Chain A
Amino acid sequence: MEKRELTCIGCPLGCGITVELDEGEILSVSGYTCKRGEIYARKEVTNPTRNVTSTVRVTGGERERVSCKTRGDVPKALIFSVMEEINRASVAAPVCIGDVLIGNVAGSGIDVVATANIKAV
Chain B
Amino acid sequence: MTAYDIVIIGGGPAGLSAAVSAYDSGCRSILILERDAELGGILNQCIHSGFGLHTFKEELTGPEYAARYIGMVLERGIEYKLNTMVMDISPDRVVTAMNSEDGMFLIKAKAVILAMGCRERPRGALNIPGYRPAGIFSAGTAQRLVNIEGYMVGKEVVILGSGDIGLIMARRMTLEGAKVKCVAELMPYSGGLKRNIVQCLDDYGIPLLLSHTVVDIEGKEHIKAVTIAEVDENRRPIEGTERRYTCDALLLSCGLVPENELSQSMGVGLSKVTNGPVVNESLETDIEGVFACGNVLHVHDLVDFVSEEAKKAGETAVKYVSGRIERSDETEIELRATFGVRYTVPSKIAVGRMDDTLTVRFRVGDVYKDSFVSVYFDDERVIHQKKRVLAPGEMEQVVLKKANLLSREGLSTVTVRIEGE
Q: Which residues of A contact B394 (CB under 8 A)?
A: 12, 14
Q: Is the CB of A67 within 8 A of B195?
A: no
Q: Which residues of A contact B63 (CB under 8 A)?
A: 67, 97, 115-116
Q: From A9, A11, A55, give the contact of B47 (CB < 8 A).
A: A55
Q: Is the CB of B195 within 8 A of A14?
A: yes
Of B145-153, B331-339, B405-413, the one with at least 4 CB within 8 A of chain A: B145-153
Nearest CB to that of B44 among chain A residues?
Answer: A116
A side interface size, CB within 8 A: 31
Q: Which residues of A contact B199 (CB under 8 A)?
A: 9, 50
Q: From B48, B60, B67, B302, give the contact of A117 (CB < 8 A).
A: B67
Q: Which residues of B contact A116 (CB under 8 A)?
A: 44, 47, 63-64, 67
Q: Is the CB of B388 within 8 A of A65?
A: no
Docked CA distance A14–B273 (Å) = 26
Cβ of B175 within 8 Å of any chain A Cβ, yes or no, is yes
Cβ of B53 within 8 Å of any chain A Cβ, yes or no, is yes
Q: Is the CB of A54 within 8 A of B149?
A: no
Nearest CB to that of A63 among chain B residues?
Answer: B148
B side interface size, CB within 8 A: 33
Most chain-B Cβ atoms within 10 A of its Cβ — which of A11, A53, A64, A80? A53
Nearest CB to that of A56 among chain B residues?
Answer: B150
Q: Is the CB of A50 within 8 A of B203?
A: yes
Given contacts A9-B199, A65-B147, A65-B149, contact A53 B64 (CB under 8 A): no
Docked CA distance A9–B175 (Å) = 18
Q: Which residues of A contact B301 (CB under 8 A)?
A: 12
Q: Is the CB of B150 within 8 A of A115?
A: no
Given contacts A55-B150, A65-B147, contact A14 B194 (CB under 8 A): yes
Q: Is the CB of B302 within 8 A of A12?
A: yes
Q: From A50, A52, A55, A97, give the contact of B67 (CB < 8 A).
A: A97
Cβ of B359 within 8 Å of any chain A Cβ, yes or no, is no
Q: Which of B40-92 contact A (CB under 8 A)?
A: 44, 47-50, 53, 59-64, 67
Provide the A14-36 mask, 1 if CB < 8 A to any CB of B, else 0: 10100000000000000000000
- For the complex of A and B, 3 pairs with smallest distance between CB atoms: A14-B194, A67-B47, A116-B63
B interface with A by C-beta (< 8 Å): 44, 47-50, 53, 59-64, 67, 146-150, 172, 175-176, 193-195, 197-199, 203, 301-302, 388-389, 394
A interface with B by C-beta (< 8 Å): 6-12, 14, 16, 50-55, 57, 63-65, 67-69, 76, 79-80, 83, 87, 97, 115-117
Query: A16-B389, A83-B176, A116-B44 provided; 10 other pairs, C-beta below 8 A?
Result: A9-B199, A12-B53, A14-B194, A55-B146, A65-B147, A80-B175, A115-B61, A115-B63, A115-B64, A117-B67
